[in-house]
A and B are shown apart, each in its own frame.
Chain A
């Protein structure tokens, strides 16, 4: 991206969002308005383009200025396009920084456009529940380069299956994913990545060949039992949840005593 498209945050937006606080009765910082009880009000009259960016944006520009390619605000939602190499550090910061606390990863997905030269976009939807903020992060991947972005499973473990789905449908590799394999199509699927624009709607093989290959797959070999093993997941639970489960089981007499 050229320097001209770099993020240029209006100075008024920066001054208005210095503390990032939610104020009653005023649309500020892209934050949700609250009524007198602190309950959110449905925003009205949101402009399509060019609204006030999220309070996170100035902080992001200040800290990762060089890695921010550009940003836009659509229907009040802030979208930040960042550089591929910085996305892991940015999401790590958004998750860990106390003033941001993006604690909920809504979705990881990708977009491919009809224009052959237009790059693919990988999209992360993040939400900060405490601050009532929504942020959309994007990375542009030119088609001539290998399609890969850093995995964020080490930050949000919920990204595991989302990244697998994105890999399955678009063929985008997530570097550092612990178990990157197909999730919707079966492991031995040969025909490519179905949501890519060059993928024929009916698939690449003939119907008979598709059936033959699908029938040759072993349905019980597709799922590892570790994925489905609930008893072993008990050890990974937080201590308070373990205690609660154990106490409830004891109250019901499920736990043998004295043995």
Chain B
């Protein structure tokens, strides 16, 4: 997949000699610049990753450097859903509805091992990766990730936003779920991904 290049200094042309002081640029550069600089996060904190998210948002790591200090506790004013922590199956319809309530364009950061893969909770109650129920843009590994790691993920998301082009929308496609299963990954692939032990129906915790 060829990525669009990041905008360079040449994306903005300034003519200081002009009395009017005008600049020329591409529209998608300006739009992306505005969007990337004010990504309002909707924190969906369910576990210990939310504690790390709190310290990321607090003064020491200072999320406002990236225009993200305005945490949006309503999905209707949010741009980025940051899923921090494991998602039980009981919360799956909740996070799905929150994602659907967010206005477009919208992005998702899956923070930590549990949100990305289910982590150590390979059991009957936990979603094995939120990318099965909502599309994810950036996965941040860690258990839980340090604030620096989350900030790195946020910077990667900003780069992704900056690379977007009006004439080429393949970078960020807001896909619709499969109408039959309402899942974002084909059911056969989900079962395949739940290896290595398979979804062993016969596996029990009791001695034979």
Report which A residues bind B (CB closer than 8 A): 114, 184-186, 191, 194, 197-204, 206-212, 214-219
Contact = CB atoms under 8 A, between A and B. Distances in A.
A198 B208 CA distance: 10
B70 interface: no
B203 A211 contact: no
Contacts of A114: 206-207
6 contacts: A200-B204, A201-B123, A204-B201, A207-B132, A215-B96, A219-B94
B180 to A, nearest CB: 9
Contact of A206 (B89, B97, B191, B207): B191
B97 to A, nearest CB: 7
Contacts of B203: 200-202
Judged by DSSP, the binding face of B is loop
Nearest to B90: A186
Interface string B176-208: 000001110001101101100001111111110
Contacts of A199: 124, 204
A211 B124 contact: no
B183 A211 contact: yes
B128 interface: yes
A208 B193 CA distance: 10
**Among A191, A194, A200, which residue has the most Cβ atoms of chain B within 10 A?**
A200
A202 B182 contact: no
A211 B189 CA distance: 13
B123 A202 contact: yes
A200 B90 contact: no
B133 A202 contact: no
B128 to A, nearest CB: 6
Judged by DSSP, the binding face of A is loop
A207 B194 contact: yes
B191 A201 contact: no
Interface residues of B, number: 33
A214 to B, nearest CB: 4
A208 B191 contact: yes
A185 B126 CA distance: 11
B90 A214 contact: yes
A202 B200 contact: yes
B187 A212 contact: yes
**Among A208, A216, A217, which residue has the most Cβ atoms of chain B within 10 A?**
A208
B181 A185 contact: no
Interface string B89-118: 110111011000000000000000000000
A191 B89 CA distance: 13
A184 B97 CA distance: 20
A200 B200 contact: yes
Nearest to B205: A201
Given A206-B191, A208-B190, A191 B206 contact: no
A12 to B, nearest CB: 41
A214 B92 contact: yes
**Among B90, B127, B203, which residue has the most Cβ atoms of chain A within 10 A?**
B90
B122 interface: yes
B125 interface: yes
A208 B181 contact: yes
Contacts of A202: 122-124, 194, 199-201, 203
Contacts of B183: 208, 211-212, 215
Contacts of A214: 89-90, 92-93, 127
A210 B118 CA distance: 14
Nearest to B97: A219
A200 B201 contact: yes
A211 B205 contact: no
A199 B181 CA distance: 25
B199 A191 contact: no
**Among B92, B132, B187, B204, which residue has the most Cβ atoms of chain A within 10 A?**
B92
A34 B181 CA distance: 64
**Among A186, A204, A207, A210, which residue has the most Cβ atoms of chain B within 10 A?**
A207
A207 B187 CA distance: 8
Contact of B199 (A198, A207, A216, A218): A207
Given A197-B206, A199-B204, A212-B182, A217 B124 contact: no
